[in-house]
Structure 1
Amino acid sequence: SSSVEKLCAFAVIVKLCPPPPPPQADQDSLQRYNDSVAAAEAERRAEAERLAAERAAEAERQRAVRAARAALEEMVFFDYDMSDIRDDAEATLRAKVDILRASPQVQVRIEGHADERGSTEYNMALGNRRAEAIRQFLVGFGLGENRFEIVSFGEGRPLQQGSTESDWARNRRGQFVITAGADAINPAN
């Protein structure tokens, strides 16, 4: 019972004593902690900004590649019974030259087409002359002739059905099909 009394007395004394004061925060430790939290947050923000910038740059690169592909595939048109490169076609072809220079792995099939007027044989030959005129224009800017194949479809693949001047004008064309290097297209520099 003596130990019970001692225990009770101790409990009363402990109860009457004020609790110990909370430990004093070491101001240097607290500052180091706050600094490390701020540094970690700044690093996280910087990494998020870097990733966002990378995503934006990749999205812009993909947009530029899509635009370059569209420019490579853009058709050019010819006057009736002619295979001369028209002035409006020159700008389109010059844009192709710049992209092809930046994309040396790309190869293209140039397809020559004619409208329905004239014999099948004549229109096949005319389509061939048109495709060859385009190829020679591109080669004239230093692109390798081996990067281009030509084919004529004559009147066989009309873009526009009908027998009006507007229909015929749409069918007198050169079309471009990327046959190699489609995954290596680079925008013009």
Structure 2
Amino acid sequence: MVKRLSVYLLVFSLTFSLSLFLNACTKKVIREGIEKKEETAKAEEKVKEELKGEPTVSEPLKSEDDDNAAREAQLREKELKKQREREEAAKREEAAKIEEAAKIEEAAKIEAAVREEFENTDIHFGFDKFSLTNQAREILAKKVSWLQGHTDLKIKIEGHCDERGANEYNMALGERRANSAMKYLVTAGVEASRVSTISYGEENPLDPGHNEDAWAKNRRAHFKIISE
């Protein structure tokens, strides 16, 4: 009886101890599981935090594309600026050429007008005279000034008379009139080698009339540019 009771107590003790052990193991397993879940959650949270602070793979690519686009835009702007500068320079150059051409054309017109005036402005003489009038001297002074500005030119002075008088006499009178004009030019500083004379007497009248007005026009010295 006593022995049986001892066996029962031993069995109960073992059963209770086993129950306590199993209960403790179960709690430990549960606690470890909870701790692992917490650690996993913390790790995931940490990864999320780290991912928030780091750029994604596409972000660097996007930033690089933006930089490239900005550089290309700057290059295009520089090229456009250079193109505009070239165009403006070309316009200025063209305007300068046009202005210069206009100046040259205007100068040529003025020169042609002065040249025409030089050749078409005669000096006139009194009847049977070869001395210079005051008006003739004023005209010759202008011709001196023009000739001194055109040292590459040579001129010929033609002496003319009206129809009255003998042909031989008029030829000599025409020569004296041309020489009077030449003497004035040379005395004023024009080189003698640049001036020549010829007499046409009454052969080439400016006015074919037979009156005093026509005769006054024909008593003259005419100037022609003969070389450049």
TM over 0.5, shorter chain:
yes
- How far did 1:151 drift? 1.0
Instruction: Tell me which residue corresponds to 1:42.
Output: 88
Q: In the alignment, does 2:126 pair up with 1:79?
A: yes
Residue pairs, 1:91-170, within 5 angstroms: 91-170=138-217
Deviations 1:86-139 (A, max 9, x none): 222222211211111111221111110000111112211111110000000101
Percent sequence identity over aligned pairs: 32
- How far did 1:164 drift? 1.0
Instruction: Tell me which residue corresponds to 2:135.
Output: 88
Q: In the alignment, does 2:116 pair up with 1:70?
A: yes
RMSD: 2.0
Structure 2 CA distance, aligned partners of 1:96 and 1:173? 15
Structure 2 CA distance, aligned partners of 1:105 and 1:127? 27
Structure 2 CA distance, aligned partners of 1:89 and 1:53? 39
Structure 2 CA distance, aligned partners of 1:90 and 1:71? 16
SS of 2:226's equivalent? strand
**Structure 1 length-normalised TM:** 0.78
- How far did 1:24 drift? 4.3
SS of 1:61's equivalent? helix
Structure 1 CA distance, aligned partners of 2:191 and 2:117? 19
Deviations 1:138-158 (A, max 9, x none): 011111112111111111111
Structure 2 CA distance, aligned partners of 1:145 and 1:44? 50
Contact 1:71/1:92 (CA < 8 Å) preserved in 2?
A: no
SS of 1:150's equivalent? strand
Higher relative helix content = 2
- How far did 1:51 drift? 0.9
Q: In the alignment, does 2:63 pair up with 1:54?
A: no
- How far did 1:30 drift? 3.4
In structure 2, relative to structure 1, the CA distance for the partners of 1:128 and 1:113 (3 Å cut) is: same
Structure 2 CA distance, aligned partners of 1:103 and 1:117? 37
SS of 1:149's equivalent? strand
**Structure 2 length-normalised TM:** 0.65
SS of 2:84's equivalent? helix
User: Structure 1: 5+ residue runs without aligned partners?
Assistant: 1-20, 182-189
Structure 1 CA distance, aligned partners of 2:93 and 2:193? 46
Deviations 1:57-111 (A, max 9, x none): 2102211321232133122111221112122222221121111111122111111
- How far did 1:56 drift? 0.8
Letter paired with 1:138? L
- How far did 1:33 drift? 2.6
Letter paired with 1:40? R
Following TM superposition, the consecutive aligned residue runs of length 4 or more in structure 1 with deviations greater than 6 angstroms are none
Task: Answer 1 or 2: higher relative contact order, Cα 8 Å, separation at least 6.
Answer: 1
Structure 2 CA distance, aligned partners of 1:178 and 1:78? 22
Structure 2 CA distance, aligned partners of 1:43 and 1:105? 39
